[in-house]
Structure 1
Amino acid sequence: MKALLLKGKGLWKDMKVEEMETPSPQKGELLVEVHAVGLNPVDYKTATNGMAVWSYPHILGLDVAGVIVEKGEGVTGWKTGDRVVYHGDFTKKGGYAEFAIINAHTVSRIPEAVSFEDAAALPTAGYTAYQAIHRKLPLEQINTILIHGGAGGVGGFGVQLAKLAGKTVISTASVHNHEYVKSLGADHVIDYREEDVNARVMEITNGRGVDAVVDAVSRQSSTDSLDALAYMGHMVYIAGAPDFTKVEPFTKVVSYHEIALAAAHQSNDVYAQKDFAAMGDQMLSLLEQRKIDAMLKEVVNLEEVPEALSRLSERHVKGKIVAKVK
């Protein structure tokens, strides 16, 4: 099969498409013919530092949409020809290839009305946002929510899901992306470059603060956002824990929630891995009903992935980029 090969630690900008042996599914696994694969920051971040469990050449790519072509022993409920999408395990070889292997219990069925490209835009960013909004937050107690980076993947899906849940959504974005983020459902968008985000949050909430923050930007961003939380507020962080010491005990009574999809694979927690399929089913249904948008802004081929990842690393890409494989 053809695959985009990472030849060594830190060499992701030099990846080239070459021939590699097609893998075979083992017990409980599926062999998927890849039609589309989503690009994510985790690709270049893990490739930059490498992983001890990798053997080179390695194949990146977590978000795979394609067709089942072979089943391993013991797989039930699926047949060859089924259209599926999944979030992969970054410790194993991924989806920047013509074929990929995945555990059968993690995949979701793609509705006929949903394209492979739109489906591949979902898993990493979409499931992260879904876990943040629907698995971590007590939504019945949440009225206002600040979601950082509304023009990006996690932020954009978060804005859409929070608005669907009936919440008042505040987001941050560069000024040229304000209308786009509002089109996703944000009630207020703050220019994080030119405005004091916390001051604007307090102005919007009449000095109370927000009930929840979802931050996928950085440790510093989540730390700064602690000042935007109201009493009994919730901090959901994806890109690093905030400095918990900034909030004095018995004052705001903040609850903290970490998001790390990869931990479900690494812990070998089958229950948690099955929840990937459940979240995928929910998001694909919303996509099919046009209640959310996949935010697909660009489709590239495998050869163009390194350049696209380079642009993604500069943190100014709007929406999602997907590589079309077949």
Structure 2
Amino acid sequence: MLSLAQKRAGVPLALVDSAILQTGPGHVRIKVEAVGLNPVDADLVASGNAEWSWPHVPILDAAGVVDAIGDGVTEWRVGDRVAAHGDLRAPGAAAQFAIFRAEVLARIPDGVSFTQAAAVPCAGMTAYQAVHRRLTVRSGQSVLITGATGGVGGFAVQLAAQAGAHVIALASHGHEDVMLLGAAAIIDSRAADAAEQIRAANDGRGLDAIVDAVSSASATRHLAMLRYAGGIACIAGLPDLHAIPSFGISPSVHEISLGAAYSHGEDRHRRDLSIMLTDLLDQVAAGRLVVPIAQVIGLDGIDAALTGMRARHTRGKIVAVI
């Protein structure tokens, strides 16, 4: 089996030939057709994980065809087209074959390519969890999306707009693309008066919700823009609550972490990964959701792509075809 692995954290990835992994109870092996790259992959390759054994194969998101089925698995058959977001503690998907828990898989609908499907899991489900599971965005609400040209931000703009929200997007570039995704207003995050522009775009009122996909500092900076009892979903770091007076706007703060469904969640949380991803892929098939793929590369291009991702030099999704 050809795979991309690293001997230890922080060193370049290299192509290696290794034995095909065996499928255990409750698991499914897929023949990988494409993998989606995400900032979490870049960070893990740089820092490693205490539960990894070396050499380690990275990358969490994959799309492919079911190749083998473990004991106790009844919902999948060899030949099924599937996609998934994996457990960051386990061997990843930058290989010809990969193992996933059966309950997290989602079926890829007809008309959706492996490349499209691989680009959806991490970014799409993170946005879905923020918009629908935590903030429960509704029609008529105002929602600020930061980092709107990124993978999570692009999906969040679309999902919030579909819910009928007034979407205000914040980004340093790609403004026309974000408007096409459904934003009602787009503001340059580099502008000195960005905060004033956000308030003006919402007629001077407080925001109902914020999806912050940038940083803890960004979440802190925008927290005070919420109305009373508004909510913020944090993708890249929690805000400092000392930035606002106690017992004032009384915000709800949500930390979004898909990986915790594996390490701290129950079966129902892991099954919800499948439910969310199935809904997202069905929307792609129906033409209601645009997959913002910026670049398609080969297996041997993953290392350089992750390096660029760590420097935050990318926008949209990068997919590697195996």
TM-score (norm 2): 0.98
2:107 to 95, 106, 109: 109
Which residue does the alignment assign to 1:199?
196
Q: Deviations over 1:184-209 (max 9, x none)?
A: 11111111112432211111122212
1:284 aligns with 2:281: yes
Describe the superposition over 1:37-78 as per-residue Cα deviations: whole angstroms up to 9, x where unpaired. 000111121121111110111011111100001000010011
Residue identity opposite 1:298 in structure 2: Q
Which segments of 5 or more consecutive residues in structure 2 lack a partner in the other structure?
none
8 Å CA contact retained: 2:58, 2:93 = yes
Q: Partner residue of 1:41?
A: 39
Question: What amino acid is the match of 2:115?
Answer: E
Structure 1, residues 124-143: CA drift from partner, whole Å, max 9, x if none? 00000000001001334861
Q: Is 1:142–1:212's contact at 8 Å kept on the other side of the alignment?
A: no
Deviation above 6 Å: which 4+ runs of structure 1? none
Instruction: Tell me how far apart the structure 1 counterparts of residues 48 and 198 of structure 2 sit (CA, whole Å).
Output: 39
How far apart are the structure 2 equivalents of 1:291 and 1:212? 22
Matched, 1:233 2:224: no
How do 1:31-70 residues align onto structure 2 when only pairs under 5 Å count? 31-70=29-68
> Residue 3 of structure 1 aligns with which residue?
3
Per-residue CA deviation, residues 225-269 of structure 1 (Å, 9 max, x unaligned), is 112212221111011110012221221111111100000011251
Superposed counterparts of 1:108-147, under 5 Å? 108-140=106-138, 143-147=141-145
Q: Distance in 2 between matches of 1:315 and 1:195?
A: 21
Aligned-residue RMSD, C-alpha: 1.2
Structural mapping, 1:230-269, within 5 Å: 230-269=227-266
Point out where structure 1 has 5 or more consecutive residues left out of the alignment.
Answer: none
Q: d(CA) in 1 for partners of 2:172 and 2:282?
A: 30
SS in 2 for 1:66: strand
Q: Which of 10, 17, 20 does residue 19 from structure 1 map onto? A: 17
Aligned with 2:224: secondary structure? helix
| 2:239 partner SS | coil
- Report the equivalent of 1:165: 163
CA distance in 2, matches of 1:77, 1:5: 31
Q: Which amino acid aligns with 1:95?
A: A
Cα distance between partner residues in 2 of 1:138 and 1:115: 29
User: Partners of 1:138 and 1:56 in 2: how far apart?
Assistant: 41
Which structure 2 residues correspond to residues 88-103 of structure 1 after superposition, within 5 A?
A: 88-103=86-101
- Residue identity matched to 2:108: I
Secondary structure in 1 matching 2:109: coil
Report the more deviating stretch, 157-166 or 139-148. Answer: 139-148
Q: What is the alpha-carbon distance in structure 2 between the residues aligned to residue 302 and residue 120 of structure 1?
A: 14
Per-residue CA deviation, residues 88-122 of structure 1 (Å, 9 max, x unaligned), is 00100000000000000000000121000000000
Say if 2:187 is the partner of 1:190.
yes
Which amino acid letter does the alignment assign opposite residue 246 of structure 2? P
Aligned equivalents of 1:237, 1:197: Cα separation in 2: 20
1:285-324 alignment to 2 at 5 Å?
285-324=282-321
In 2, the alpha carbon distance for the partners of 1:268 and 1:133 equals 20
Partner Cα distance (2:138, 2:63) in 1: 34
Counterpart Cα distance in 2 of 1:22 and 1:230: 54
**Contact preservation (8 Å) 2:4, 2:57:** yes
- Counterpart contact for 1:235–1:257, Cα < 8 Å: yes
User: Percent identity among equivalent residues?
Assistant: 42
Tell me the residue number matched to 2:80. Answer: 82
State the one-letter code of the partner of 1:157. Answer: F
- 3-state DSSP class of the match of 1:185? coil
Asked whether the equivalents of residues 31 and 68 of structure 1 are also in contact (C-alpha less than 8 Å), the reply is yes
| Count of residues paired in the alignment | 322
